[in-house]
Amino acid sequence: MNTTTGSYPIDVLGLIITILLVAVAAGMSYAMRLGVHRQMLWATLRSLIQLLAMGYILKFVIEQNNPWLVFALIAVMILAAVQITMSRAANIPRSVMPSVLLTLTASVILQVCVVTELIIRPHPWYAPTVLATLSGMLLGNVVSAVAVAMSRFFADMEARRYEVEMLLSLGATPFEAAKPSIVSSVRLGMIPTISQLASSGIVLIPGMMAGQVIAGADPLTAAKYQFVVLAVISALTLMADSLIMVLIYRTSFTAVHQFITTSAH
């Protein structure tokens, strides 16, 4: 233990105990026939491997302190986020992938320009400890919100098929016909993000703040960082949800404003 900073590094024994705790929980799932033990064990193993791999990658990028490496890492993260978004969203056409890429890229660029350069102002400006970690946190939230919003949009449009066709026949534009689905999709995608923002503090100490405090950071400084991250992520997630809806709603219509069913995509 580092008694100077008050940090408490986790050793191999700590990781083993953590995995054993998950194994016990999975055993309970198996005994109670809950059916989630395999998914839980696989997700835990996958998480451990991915996080340790990212830890080594971040350590290398930080030590090199090269802006090209930082942006190369962020680019890889964005491409991986696109793939994850497409796999999480149910019953969506593959043609929306470029729109997802554009949305995620725009979100990261806004995060870099606003959060990194205007709020935190690190030195150097491309500090890997700030750019890479914040980009990862942002993408994690945006991926979930965008995937939920897209799934809801196409499902809702299919459920409103006759209503949409009637609106089009009465002279409504594709956007006017799709607007109720767009609104409900954005709202659904934002529910977890807004809930986390509203409950943070007394009810919930978020992961970033808790990690900083455990690592020895000043609690007030950690609270300020956590607020900035949560507030900016909420704003950028709403922007991302809105942007992806604007980009993809046209895929539900032909060039002559006819509705395309999900099965026809």
Q: Are residues 183 and 78 in the same domain?
A: yes
Q: Are residues 53 and 73 in the same domain?
A: no
Q: Tens digit of pLDDT for each residue in 140-149?
A: 889 999 999 9
208 pLDDT higher than 70: yes
Q: Tell me, what's the pLDDT at 4?
A: 45
Q: Are residues 151 and 52 in the same domain?
A: no
Q: Tens digit of pLDDT for each residue in 2-30?
A: 444 556 778 889 889 999 999 999 999 98
6: alpha, beta or left? (left if phi > 0; alpha if psi -120 to 50): left
Name the percent of the chain lying above pLDDT 90.
Answer: 51
Q: Tell me, what's the pLDDT at 219?
A: 87
Q: Are residues 81 and 53 in the same domain?
A: no
Specify the number of domains making up the chain.
2
Q: Are residues 55 and 167 in the same domain?
A: no
119 pLDDT higher than 90: no
Q: Are residues 177 and 120 in the same domain?
A: yes
Q: Tens digit of pLDDT for each residue in 220-248?
A: 888 888 888 888 889 999 999 999 999 99
Task: Give the mean pLDDT of the chain.
Answer: 88
Least confident window among 4-18, 37-51, 74-88, 223-237: 4-18
Q: Are residues 50 and 108 in the same domain?
A: no
Q: Tell me, what's the pLDDT at 264?
A: 57
